[in-house]
A and B are shown apart, each in its own frame.
Chain A
Amino acid sequence: MKQTIFAVARSVLAGAVVLAAPVAIAQNTIKIGMITDRVGPAKGFAEPVAAGAVYAVKELNAKGGVLGRQIELLIEDDQGRPDVSATVARKLVDSGVAFILSVSLTPATQQAQSVTLETKTPHMTPSNSGDTLTTQISNPNFWQTGPLGSTQIATLLSYARNKNFKKVALVTDNSDLGQLTNRFFKSALENAKIEIVSEEVVPRGSTTADPQMQKVRAANPDAIFLAGVLTPENALILRSVRQLGLKQPLLGNYNFSIPVYGAVAKGLLDGLAFVDAFDPAKPQTRQFIENYKKDNNGTEPYNLNGYGYDGIIMVVDAIKRAGGTDKEKVREAMQATKGFQGVMGGVGTAYGFADGKRVGFDPNGMVVRVYEGDAQGKVVHIGVK
């Protein structure tokens, strides 16, 4: 009799535990918000980053989540519109997220900051490269671990140091990020006492870049720096370079590291040097590529996926160190991040927010690679030394 009662009690208890568990998990997830662009002009760049983040959450949850809880990723679409970005940021804050990731356009991330500043919600962008995101507004809750424009040009300049460029040309487009990157490229070049003999803009929707590149040719620079971020317009520039017989070395920003150029600018890339933050030979990166491929039917990841992945891993690590989702504790933990080795960055580099800074990408963390034919060649230079 007693045994039966015990048995029944045991199974009832077991049943209760089993029933309670999913409820507990559903109520007890750690929510992380992500704002991406699914329909607007940043779609081609935002969606791969978002895919990397989604994969990171999947991988972490398979390993048990964080602090014993599963991670729930709430994704919002800001349509590439800054005012919508601010609105969906509020929605995420109201949903109780511990952290918000912004992977859409730079002005959209900027506008979302007005919300995270007000609500003191931890907020970061793992992919935006605009330097002004951490300087225009003083928002202690916002961090940026994307490849800053200033880091890109510093890396390119250190690679080019022994080539002794005295005068260069600077070509960009009229997108907001292209103009911003151009600004930082320009000031770094001027600080290095290199003369900019030609500064050109190829507007969105152009049918040719010949007039601009003719001006560049006439100015006879030692090298040409490319600060634009619009793929079709960059392809136009590269085509003009070939057509007009320009033989100067080309140094490109990190946008040229995106694999789409292999398809769209075939035959135009050989010898182009560009900055990247992705070294497929690095052990962590190799591991990431293999695991991602297995999980995604053999689709190979590229650098944009890596940014999203690193972003989530870093955020979750900060939450772990904070011991929970209390905003102030998470903020402190994030700010204390140091020596964090991620998928992105050259060998031996790490993320960290030293000295109260809020930009985390290792200033020595970018690499320079050179296109060999249409394939991205190996790393030829690391960092800014």
Chain B
Amino acid sequence: MKSLAGFLLAGLVLSAVAFMLGSYHTDVYRKLLLWITLALGYNFLFGIAGQVAFSHFTFYGIGAYVMVILLFQVGLPLPLAIVAGIVVCVVLALVVAVPATRLEGFYLALATLAFAQLFIVVLNEGGSVTGGPGGLANYRLPDILGVRVTGPWYTVVIVFLLLGTLAVLWRLDRSWFGRACRAVRDDPQAAQAMGINIRTTRIVAYAVTSALAGVAGMVYAFVDNTVNPTIFGLENAFLLLFMVIVGGSGRPAGAIVGAILLYLLPFILSPLIGHHHALVFGVVMVAVVLFQPKGLIGIWDGWLARRRAAS
């Protein structure tokens, strides 16, 4: 009950903010919320389940394209498109999960990296289905029951998405499944000895987080009303990894902190130090790994612990 109230309150506050912002800040806010959503999912996949995958952002792209294609090329009505879109994302996530989870560590990283690149190739060669290198544009969210959902109301949709993702992941984390994931991550042999099915655990973790990323992509499609291959390029997968590491992997709070910091950093730094902000990213990443491997959230924890010890 407490957590439900907490969620509702968060939802109200985040939505209220949406109504107070001008159009530029709304845009930054929306994209920030989407990045937080992605970081939360990736935090579960990488931090809790211990899978080094670079395919998370690719599923975001898959979700976005699938939504646009189903709505405007296949011509489905909106409710059906939403359902069909989610189904496609889940199915694709499973299809990739089954072979992917046979791989460990850096083999998984490499395979998912290749998958991410392959996605871009397919998008570029997709002709009129994917719009080729130019992508798809010139569409907008169809009316729902005659109502046009735009502006701050669409931001509310994104808030729902974020909280929904957080709720799902939190539940999973707290349940035996979360413990199973951590066990498989830390010591697969011991986990197996305790009766945990390693394959199934890995497949479910990968499929659930990838499907969530896909759903986030479906929502993204209507933020700029454009999808093209350049948006979903490879550097974003690295950025997501950086966010989770810098924030603190394994902790949802860490993912949130990391996403906020690394997403907003270029906007803040750009007017100050021009185009050197990419350099700052690299340095921050190295510094965090060297000095605070628990991420920035680790610094917060340490401070809290010292406060408690003092009192």
Residues of A within 8 A of B (CB): 38-39, 43, 76-77, 79, 81-84, 86-87, 90-91, 93-94, 105-108, 110-111, 114, 119, 130, 132, 136-138, 174-177, 179-180, 183
Q: Which one of A39, A90, A110 contacts B134 once the chains associate, using CB atoms below 8 Å?
A: A110
A87 touches B266 (CB 8 A): no
| Sample of 12 A–B contacts (CB below 8 Å) | A43-B275, A82-B231, A83-B31, A84-B266, A86-B27, A91-B24, A107-B231, A110-B228, A132-B134, A137-B137, A138-B138, A180-B134
Flag whether B278 is at the interface (Cβ < 8 A). Answer: yes
The reply to whether B27 and A90 form a contact with Cβ atoms under 8 Å apart is yes
Give CA–CA (A110, B275) in the complex, Å: 22
Report B's interface with A, CB cutoff 8 A.
Answer: 22-24, 26-28, 31, 124, 132-135, 137-138, 223-226, 228-231, 266, 270, 274-275, 277-278
A186, chain B: closest CB distance, angstroms: 13
**From B277, which residue of chain A is reached at the shortest CB distance?**
A39
Q: Is the CB of B228 within 8 A of A39?
A: no
A132–B131 Cα distance when bound, in Å, is: 11
The answer to whether A79 and B134 touch across the interface, beta carbons within 8 angstroms, is no
A43 to B278, CA, bound (A): 13
Give CA–CA (A242, B277) in the complex, Å.
41
Residues of A within 8 A of B138 (CB): 136-138
CB distance from B142 to the nearest CB of A (A): 17
Chain A residue with the shortest CB-CB distance to B140? A114
Q: List residues of chain B with CB within 8 A of the CB of A86.
A: 27, 224, 226
- Is the beta-carbon distance between B225 and A114 smaller than 8 angstroms? yes
A110 CB contacts on chain B under 8 angstroms: 134-135, 137, 226, 228
A93 neighbours in B (Cβ, 8 Å): 23-24
Query: Would you call B226 and A82 a contact (CB within 8 A)?
Result: yes
Q: How far in angstroms is the closest Cβ of chain A from B190?
A: 42
How far, in whole Å, are A8 and B225 apart by their CA atoms in the complex?
Answer: 63
Contacts of B277 in A (CB 8 A): 39
Beta-carbon contact of B28 and A87 below 8 Å: yes
Asked if A77 and B275 sit within 8 Å, CB to CB, the answer is yes
CB closest chain-B residue, reference A95: B24
Q: Are A94 and B22 also in contact (CB < 8 A) when A105-B230, A179-B133 are?
A: yes
Q: Which of A43, A76, A91, A107 contacts B230 (CB 8 A)?
A: A107
User: Closest chain A residue to B278 by CB distance?
Assistant: A39
Min CB gap A334→B, angstroms: 22
- 11 A-B pairs besides A83-B224, A107-B229, A111-B226 with CB distance below 8 A are A82-B231, A94-B22, A105-B230, A106-B134, A107-B133, A107-B134, A114-B225, A119-B23, A137-B138, A174-B124, A180-B133
Q: How far is the CB of A136 from chain B (nearest CB, A)?
A: 5
Determine chain A's interface SS by DSSP, over half rule: helix
Does B266 contact A79, Cβ atoms closer than 8 Å?
yes
- How many angstroms between the C-alpha atoms of A82 and B232 in the bound complex? 10
Q: State in angstroms the CA–CA spacing of A93 and B24 once bound together.
A: 8
Please, how many angstroms separate the alpha-carbon atoms of A39 and B270 in the complex? 10
- State in angstroms the CA–CA spacing of A114 and B228 once bound together: 13
- Give Cα A174 to B231, complex, Å: 16
Contacts of B230 in A (CB 8 A): 81-82, 105, 107-108, 176
Contact of B275 among A38, A108, A119, A130 (CB under 8 A): A38
B27 in contact with A114 (CB, 8 Å): no
A119 to B278, CA, bound (A): 31
Q: Which among A87, A93, A106, A132 has the highest number of chain B CB atoms within 10 Å?
A: A87
CB distance from A33 to the nearest CB of B (A): 12
Which among B26, B132, B228, B274 is the interface contact of A82 at CB below 8 angstroms?
B228
Q: Are B228 and A176 in contact (CB under 8 A)?
A: yes
User: Top 3 closest A-B pairs, CB basis?
Assistant: A38-B275, A176-B133, A90-B24
Report A-chain residues with C-beta under 8 Å of the C-beta of B225.
114
A175 to B233, CA, bound (A): 12
Q: Which residues of B contact A43 (CB under 8 A)?
A: 275
From A77, A94, A179, A180, B270 is in contact (CB under 8 Å) with: A77
B26's nearest neighbour on chain A, judged by CB, is A90
The distance from the CB of B225 to the nearest CB of chain A, in whole angstroms, is 5
Which residues of the other chain, A, contact B278 by a CB distance below 8 angstroms?
39
Tell me whether A87 and B31 are in contact (CB under 8 A).
yes
CB contacts (< 8 Å) of B134 on chain A: these are: 106-107, 110, 130, 132, 136, 176, 180
B229 touches A90 (CB 8 A): no
Which residues of chain A have C-beta atoms less than 8 A from B28's C-beta? Answer: 87
Report chain B residues within 8 Å CB of A174. Answer: 124
Instruction: Give the shortest distance, in Å, between A263 (CB) and chain B (any CB).
Output: 22
Shortest Cβ distance from B135 into A: residue: A107
